[in-house]
């Protein structure tokens, strides 16, 4: 569809629909008047004309379409554009806001928009538009892919998300007309994604409004009860609020400080979240009122803080300086909690005018207050976060995983730590040294082996606290540990670890699969290197495999049996073709696969029997696990005799080096100091103790379980001989855990 629209002249935007058209333009008159008034405050007449042309174009495109409320559809894009005009966004963004639904709801294309309104506006509209849901199997997949597209478009141009947030705000304001289940879904989506994004971009006023609207629709009964309780409490606490306001307004001028003082009631969702997180009843939430003090400059903020602490007693540990260390979204203020009249806690925020602009409008302040130098740091932080989305995209497998990482990154709580050189890093609450390592650089994260927190060596899983000084220790031969995924908190760290492990597993499983397939082909007289291309093509077509490499990786991971793949490949080889190895199967030697140790993801040592060099071993291919190596007498192997087709001949590498874990059980007499003597003997033999546990047998004997690091079977035998020399040792054996 090509909309034929008149070209407007410079001047106010007016209804493009005749009064007798039946579309009820009268309903839009007040909205258009307010929109015009906002545009006139900061746009040139020629820019207003361009926006007017977009309005006329959008109205013609949506003509005849109605919202669920019964209002003409054009009222929605107009409301979105009006929100952006409140932030003083440029004409390109306003045009895109007015046209943001035409690609979804009409036959108008991106090319037509670009031709009529320019490439910039067309790109913005495309970034906001949803994808075709038919491409995806489920609604959740479609939503995840939509978020992925939108967030990556936002990384290229932040105006995309500003339009989308304004779009979501108006949808939330008009949500009452939808079915209850749809209200709930949209409200939860708003709380999970859109409100946190608004907070991450510093759009505080929008963030609070989205939270309130989502809370009202997601939990209507709780919202109603809490609203009634707050209204009832207003009267009871009015005297306290009045006294605090009066005292502050007297104290600040008395200290020579000019300030604007505002009392504000806390948002219902903030009260509700506090009740849930701290398990409080409403009567226990005393601080439902807060106060905001706005002064002329930064030094005066600290003077005001001193004056307030002289007025009321501050609560220890409740003073936060977000001016010296701003939040990641650029927010700056001093926060303090005071004990007010009648012992009531009073929360106060102190900021200057520039900080107030950024706190309320965040990244949109770039357009609202272009001359403010205070915005430079905010823009840098925003740009850094947006670029991190692009980086996440490059290391993430699918849309759902990408969205999961972004959700992790949107949590508002943060902890601030210092590098040894004094650089400040903002990390999610609960972050560990591994998160910090990846925040510094991917290579630091991949190679970290230990850390020092406040000059003390600590485990990598230690939870960091505000003000910690953290030093990361690295090794050139180290690699990410899969266990890290159990405790890292940042999206960047999680994404980088998964990417490394997936890449490593794929490479190792492909190499292993190649060896196994070559072995299976040799059994039937064929050579893998000489297989004709048509044999592989026929196999891929029949099995649905993407590539030869993916087939080899599947074999290495136990997802395909090498013997079956070999037989299917042989079906595609003509008799006498170059693929024939010329070696009779019965005369073929079966070289065993050499094991280098616990060196990878595709080849692992069984945790049940803990094989070490020198032990007779056998390999077992398990689906999704790759090759698992066990000792010959392992009980797990004995239970799997029915899977003999999956058993693989394996041998230890002759010149194997490294440390391997072995478990022993030691029964000792209950004598003081016996554990210290055992530990000393183990250390003398050059072994490390990984773990110790205890199981009391009787009053005079105790069973100790040690997990030790050894180089091979001979090293373990030397340790056992040394421990037998300890007089208190009653019995000692190598131990296999039956539970594993």
CA pair distance 45, 74, nearest whole angstrom: 23
In the block, residue with structure tokens 């209507």:
220
**Residue among 337, 341, 318 nearest 237 (CA):** 341
Positions annotated as catalytic residues are: 104-105
H-only helix segments in 312-449: 353-361, 365-368, 375-395, 399-409, 433-440, 442-447
698: left (phi over 0), alpha (psi -120 to 50) or beta: beta
The residues with which 630 forms a beta bridge, in sequence order, are 618
* Token pair in block for residue 677: 């003597």
In the block, residue with structure tokens 């060896």:
515
Q: How far is CA 480 from CA 3, 432, 536, in A?
A: 56, 14, 35
CA pair distance 32, 52, nearest whole angstrom: 10
Burial class (CB in 10 A: 0-12, 13-18, 19+), 333: buried
CB-based contacts of 371, cutoff 8 Å, min separation 6:
none
User: Helices 45-61 & 26-40, crossing angle to 10 degrees?
Assistant: 150
DSSP state, 66? B
* Token pair in block for residue 175: 């949500």
* Angle CA 487–488–489, to nearest 5: 115
* Token pair in block for residue 123: 């790109």
Nearest 10 degrees: Cα torsion 685, 688, 690, 692: 50
CA pair distance 68, 71, nearest whole angstrom: 7
Burial class (CB in 10 A: 0-12, 13-18, 19+), 299: exposed
Q: Are 559 and 623 in contact (CB under 8 A)?
A: yes
CA pair distance 284, 526, nearest whole angstrom: 78
Total Cβ atoms within 10 A of residue 35: 23
Question: Coil, helix or strand for 628?
Answer: strand
Q: Are 608 and 737 in contact (CB under 8 A)?
A: yes
Question: Coil, helix or strand for 109?
Answer: coil
Total Cβ atoms within 10 A of residue 393: 17
Q: Are 435 and 415 in contact (CB under 8 A)?
A: no
Q: Are 157 and 123 in contact (CB under 8 A)?
A: yes
SS3 letters for 498-556?
HHHHHHHHHHHHHHHHHHHHHHHHHHCCECHHHCCHHHHHHHHHHHCCCCHHHHHHHHH
**Residue among 136, 164, 194 nearest 80 (CA):** 164
DSSP string, 11-30: S-----S-TTSSS-THHHHH
CA pair distance 485, 496, nearest whole angstrom: 10
**Residue among 521, 514, 513, 533 nearest 580 (CA):** 521
């Amino acid at each position: 569809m090509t909309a034929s629209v008149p070209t407007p002249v410079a001047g106010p935007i007016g209804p493009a629909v005749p009064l007798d058209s039946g579309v009820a333009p009268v309903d839009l008159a007040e909205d258009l008047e307010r929109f015009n008034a906002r545009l006139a405050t900061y746009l040139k007449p020629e820019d207003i004309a361009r926006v007017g042309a977009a309005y006329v174009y959008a109205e013609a495109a949506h003509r005849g379409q109605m919202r669920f409320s019964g209002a003409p559809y054009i009222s929605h894009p107009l409301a979105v554009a009006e929100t952006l005009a409140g932030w003083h966004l440029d004409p390109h963004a306003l045009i895109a806001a007015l046209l943001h639904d035409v690609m979804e709801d009409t036959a108008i294309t991106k090319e037509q928009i670009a031709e009529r309104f320019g490439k910039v506006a067309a790109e913005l509209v495309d970034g906001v538009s949803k994808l075709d849901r038919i491409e995806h199997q489920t609604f959740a997949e479609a939503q995840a892919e939509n978020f992925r597209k939108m967030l990556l478009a936002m990384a290229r141009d932040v105006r995309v998300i500003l339009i989308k947030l304004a779009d979501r705000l108006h949808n939330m304001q008009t949500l009452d007309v939808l079915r209850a289940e749809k209200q709930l879904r949209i409200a939860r989506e708003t709380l999970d994604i859109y409100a946190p994004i608004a907070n991450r971009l510093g759009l505080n006023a929008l963030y609070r409004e989205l939270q309130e609207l989502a809370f009202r629709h997601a939990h209507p009964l709780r919202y109603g009860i809490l609203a009634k309780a707050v209204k009832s409490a207003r009267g009871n606490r009015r005297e306290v609020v009045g006294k605090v306001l009066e005292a502050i307004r007297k104290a600040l001028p008395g200290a020579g400080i000019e300030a604007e003082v505002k009392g504000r009631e806390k948002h219902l969702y903030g009260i509700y979240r506090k009740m849930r997180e701290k398990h409080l009843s409403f009567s226990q939430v005393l601080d439902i009122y807060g106060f905001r003090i706005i002064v002329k400059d930064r030094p005066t903020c600290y003077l005001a803080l001193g004056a307030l602490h002289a007025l009321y007693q501050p609560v220890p540990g409740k003073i936060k300086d977000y001016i010296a260390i701003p939040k990641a979204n650029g927010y700056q203020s001093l926060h303090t909690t005071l004990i007010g009249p009648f012992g009531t806690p009073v929360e106060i925020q102190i900021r200057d005018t520039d900080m107030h602009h950024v706190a309320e409008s965040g990244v949109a302040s770039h357009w609202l207050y272009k001359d403010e130098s205070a915005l430079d740091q905010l823009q840098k932080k925003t740009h850094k976060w947006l670029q991190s989305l692009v980086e996440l995209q490059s290391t993430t497998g699918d849309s759902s995983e990408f969205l999961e990482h972004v959700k992790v990154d949107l949590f508002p709580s943060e902890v601030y730590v210092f590098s040894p050189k004094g650089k400040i890093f903002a990390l999610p609450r609960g972050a560990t040294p591994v998160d910090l390592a990846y925040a510094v650089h991917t290579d630091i994260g991949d190679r970290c082996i230990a850390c020092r927190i406040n000059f003390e060596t600590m485990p990598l899983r230690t939870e960091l606290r505000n003000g910690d000084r953290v030093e990361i220790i690295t090794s050139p031969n180290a690699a990410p540990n899969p266990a890290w995924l159990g405790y890292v908190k940042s999206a960047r760290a999680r994404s980088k670890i998964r990417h490394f492990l997936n890449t490593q597993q794929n490479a190792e499983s492909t190499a292993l699969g190649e060896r196994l397939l070559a072995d299976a082909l040799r059994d039937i007289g064929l050579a893998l290197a000489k297989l004709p291309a048509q044999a592989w093509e026929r196999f891929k077509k029949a099995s649905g495999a993407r590539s030869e490499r993916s087939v080899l990786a599947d074999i290495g991971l136990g997802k395909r049996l090498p013997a079956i793949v070999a037989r299917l490949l042989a079906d595609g080889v003509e008799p006498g073709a170059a693929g024939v190895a010329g070696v009779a199967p019965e005369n073929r030697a079966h070289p065993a696969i050499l094991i280098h140790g616990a060196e990878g993801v595709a080849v692992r040592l069984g945790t049940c029997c803990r094989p070490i060099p020198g032990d007779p071993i056998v390999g077992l291919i398990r689906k999704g696990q790759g090759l698992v190596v066990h000792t010959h007498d392992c009980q797990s192997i004995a239970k799997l005799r029915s899977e003999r087709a999956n058993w693989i001949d394996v041998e230890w590498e002759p010149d194997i080096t490294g440390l391997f874990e072995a478990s022993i059980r030691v029964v000792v007499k209950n004598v003081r100091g016996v554990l210290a003597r055992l530990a000393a003997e183990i250390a003398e033999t050059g072994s490390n103790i990984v773990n110790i546990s205890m199981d009391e047998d009787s009053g005079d004997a105790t069973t100790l379980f040690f997990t030790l690091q050894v180089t091979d079977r001979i090293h373990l035998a030397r340790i056992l001989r040394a421990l037998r020399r300890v007089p208190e040792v009653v019995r000692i054996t190598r131990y296999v855990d039956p539970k594993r």
